[in-house]
A and B are shown apart, each in its own frame.
Chain A
Amino acid sequence: MSDTTHSTPAAVSGPRSARLLPYLLSLPALLVCVGILVPFVTAAYYSLQRYKLSMPQRRGFIWFDQYWNFFNDADFWHTVYVSMLYTVSTVGVELLLGLGIALLLRERSKVNNAASVALLLPLMTAPAIAALMWKLMTNPGFGVLSWVISLFGVTDFKWASAPSSAMFTVVLVDVWVYTPFIMILLLAGLRSLPTQPFEAAKLDGVPAHFVFFRITLPMLMPYMVTATLFRLLDSIQQFDIVYAMTQGGPGDSLLLFQVSAYLDFFQYTNVGRSAALMMILWAITYALSNVFIKQWLKLRERTHGAH
C-alpha cells in the first residue's frame, strides 16, 4: 500500500493561495510590530551612546558606561527607590482594598451590581484628568479636601506641593483610579467560583475565617496573581498621574522611572541617559510580563476552554 502512495506524489490540498492566507491576513499587524521594534532597537542603540541634543558634537559610543555609571549615581538609585515605593504602596493598597470591595459585592443583587458598575467610573477616567480632579480638590485655597481635613484641625497638610506628602497624594490618586481594576477582576473571579465547596463547608459548619483562608483565597489566587501582576506592570511605569499632578516634583520627590526619563530627554536633552533608564525599566517589565503572560494564558484558557 505504501508503495503505491509513494509512486504518485500526493498533491497538496486546496489552492496554494489558501496556504498564504494566514500570512496575508496578519501582514498589517506584522508591519505594526516591526514599526514598533525599530524605535525600540534605536532606544537600545542610544543607550550605548553619549548623546545630548544640546551637545551634538560630543555624541559618541561609550558602550555600557551609561549603565556602569548608574551604579554610583545617587539620582538613579533615588529613581529606583521612588518607583519601588510607589509600585509597592499602590499595588498593595489596591489589592487589599479591591479584594475587600469584591468580597463586599460578591452576592449578586441589584444594589451590588449597580455599585460595581458605579465603582468602575474612576477607572474609566483618564488618569491624567483624574490627577487634575484631585489637584482641584486638594487646592490649599479652596479645595474641598483641604477644607475637610481642616475640620479635623489639620491645616498645614500641603498634599502634592510638599515633598513629605507628595508621594501620599499621588498614591491616593492611583488608588482612586485603579482599585476598581483589581476589584472588578476579583469580583468576576469570585462569582465564577464553583459553589459546591462553599455549600459543603456551610453544611459542615466550617467557620467563616477557615472558609476564607482555605477555600476562597486559594481558589481566587489565579485571579489575584493576574490582577496584581497586571497592576505591577502598569504601576512601575506610572507617568500620567505624577506628571499631571506635579511633573515629578516637588524637588526630586516623585521622579519615577518614566518621569525621570522624560525630564532627562526634554529638559536636559540627555538622550543617552534617558534611553538607558528606559532600557532598565524595560528589562524589569519584560521579566514581569513573562510571568504575567503565563498566568494570563491560564486564566484565558479557563475562560475560552483549552484550544
Chain B
Amino acid sequence: MARIDGTGSPIPRILRAIALVVVLVFFLFPILWIFLMSFQTNETILAIPPSLAFTPTLINYTSLISGHLQTAAGSLDLPFMHNLFNSVLLSSVSVLVSLVLGVPAAYAFARFRFRLGEDIAFTLLSFRFAPPLLVLLPLSLYFKDLGLANTYTGLIWVYQLICLPLILWIVRGYFEDASPDVEYAYRVDGHSWWRAFTRIAIPLAGPGIAAAGLLAFIFAWNNFVFALILASADKQPVTVGALAFVTASGIQYGQIAAAIVLSIMPTLALALYAQRWLVEGLSLGAVKG
C-alpha cells in the first residue's frame, strides 16, 4: 500500500527508522541480554559496569544438564532438567488430548447447526476469559479428594482450559471455510461418515489443525498458575520451576539465565516457525494475518 504521509522528504523516513530501532531495542534487548548472561560466569555477571567483552562459557548449561553444581559453598542439586521434561510432557500430551477432544467437536459445531453445540462452544470461550483461580482454588481441594493432586493426569485435564477453546475455535473456522460439498460428494460415492471425516475433512483442515496445535502448545508451555497451584516440585513445568530455582539457588545468576534461555527457546522457536498463524491463534481465529 502506498504511504499516505511522509512522501518525498527524507526527514520522516529517518525519524521512522530511528523509531523502529528504539522499538526493536526495547523489545529485543532483554532476550539478548539474558542470552548473553547465560554464557557468563558469576564473576563477569556481577562486574560493574557490565561488559560485552567476556569469554563465553558453557558451564551454566553443563551444570543445568548434569543437574549438579559445584560451588565454593558445596554441591547444589538442580532439578531443572526435570522441569523441562515436565513442560514437554504436559504441553504435548495436553495438546494431543485437546486435539482428540476438540477436532471432532469443532467439526460438529461447523457442520451441524445445533443449539447444544453453540452453547458448548461459547461456554468454553467464556472460560478462556474467566479468572483461572476461581476454578483452580476449589479444584485444588477436589483434586486432593480425587487423588489427582500433583498428578500429570490432573494437570493435563486442567490444561484443557487453555488448549481446548483455542483448538475448538481455530479448527472450527477452518472446517467452516471448507465447502461441505466435497465431503457430501465423498459420502454419496459410498463412503461412511467416518471415512469422509478422516479422509476428506481432516486433510483439508490440516494446516489449521497443525497451527492450532502449535499455538496451543505455546500457550500450555507458558502457563504458570495451573501448575503453581496444582503441582509439587516433581511435576512442575519450567515456568514454576524457574521461579523455585531462583528462590533455591539465590545467587547463581548464570544458571538462572541459562534456565530462562532453555525455558523460552522452545516457544520462541515454535513461534518463529508458526509465525504465519500467530495472528489467527492470538485472536482465537477471528483475524487472519
Contacts and interface: CB of A to CB of B under 8 A. Distances in A.
Query: A and B: direct contact (Cβ < 8 Å)?
Result: yes
B168 interface: yes
A79 interface: no
A303 B287 CA distance: 6
Q: Could you tell me the dominant secondary structure of chain B's interface residues? A: helix
Contact of A108 (B1, B26, B142, B288): B1
Interface residues of B, number: 103
B23 A128 contact: no
Interface stretch (A2-10, A60-68, A154-162, A193-201): A193-201
Interface in B115-151: 116-117, 120, 122-127, 129-139, 141-142
B134 A40 contact: yes
A101 B177 CA distance: 31
Nearest to A135: B246
B108 A26 contact: yes
Nearest to B142: A39
Interface stretch (B31-39, B53-61, B63-71, B74-82): B31-39
A292 B260 CA distance: 34
Contacts of B4: 198, 201-202, 208, 211
Interface in B1-36: 1-6, 16, 19-20, 23-24, 26-28, 30-31, 33-34
Contacts of B139: 39
Given A104-B19, A132-B242, A300-B286, A261 B133 contact: yes
Contact of B224 (A21, A202, A208, A244): A244
A281 B131 contact: yes
Nearest to A202: B4
Contacts of B193: 18, 21
B190 interface: no
Interface of A: 18, 21-23, 25-26, 28-30, 32-33, 35-40, 42-43, 46, 100-101, 104-108, 111, 115, 117-130, 132-137, 139, 141-142, 144, 147, 176, 179-181, 184-185, 188-189, 191-192, 195, 198-199, 201-202, 208, 211-212, 223, 226, 230, 233, 237, 239-240, 243-244, 257-258, 261-262, 265, 271, 274-275, 278-279, 281-282, 285-286, 288-289, 292-293, 296-297, 299-300, 303-305, 307
Interface of B: 1-6, 16, 19-20, 23-24, 26-28, 30-31, 33-34, 37, 45-50, 100-102, 104-105, 107-109, 111-112, 114, 116-117, 120, 122-127, 129-139, 141-142, 157, 160-161, 164, 168, 173, 176-177, 193, 218, 221-225, 228-229, 238-240, 242-243, 246, 253, 256-257, 260, 263-264, 267-268, 270-272, 275, 278-279, 282-289
